[in-house]
Amino acid sequence: MLRTAICPGAFDPIANGHLDIIKRATALFDRVVVGVAATVIKKYFNPRKEAEGVLSICANLDNVTVNLKN
């Protein structure tokens, strides 16, 4: 059975606390999906750039994928 964790958020910007939770999840789950959510509240937030930033920061974590949700 594949165990999957989902870590949703706006990550504006991604912080060390976010990364710590993601890293801990990789040890507990087979797959970790980081969902970057778009929000209308933050006027200067670019969800595509945030998703790219999260992806680059998590590039060394084999079982992490990043999804952008509009």
- Would you write out the chain's pLDDT as a tens digit for each of its 70 residues? 899 999 998 887 889 999 999 999 999 999 999 999 877 666 667 788 888 999 999 999 999 999 987 6
Q: What is the pTM of this model?
A: 0.84
Q: Is residue 67 part of a domain?
A: no
Q: Compute the residue count for the chain.
A: 70
Q: Could you give the 3-state DSSP secondary structure of residue 52?
A: helix
Question: Which amino acid belongs to residue 21?
Answer: I
Domain count of the fold of the chain: 1
With CA atoms as reference, report the closest residue to 27 among 57, 70, 69, 62: 62
Q: Are 34 and 14 in contact (CB under 8 A)?
A: no
Q: Are 67 and 34 in contact (CB under 8 A)?
A: yes
What range defines the domain where residue 12 resides?
A: 4-60
Q: Is residue 65 part of a domain?
A: no
The radius of gyration computed from the CA coordinates of the chain, to the nearest angstrom, equals 12
Q: Is residue 68 part of a domain?
A: no
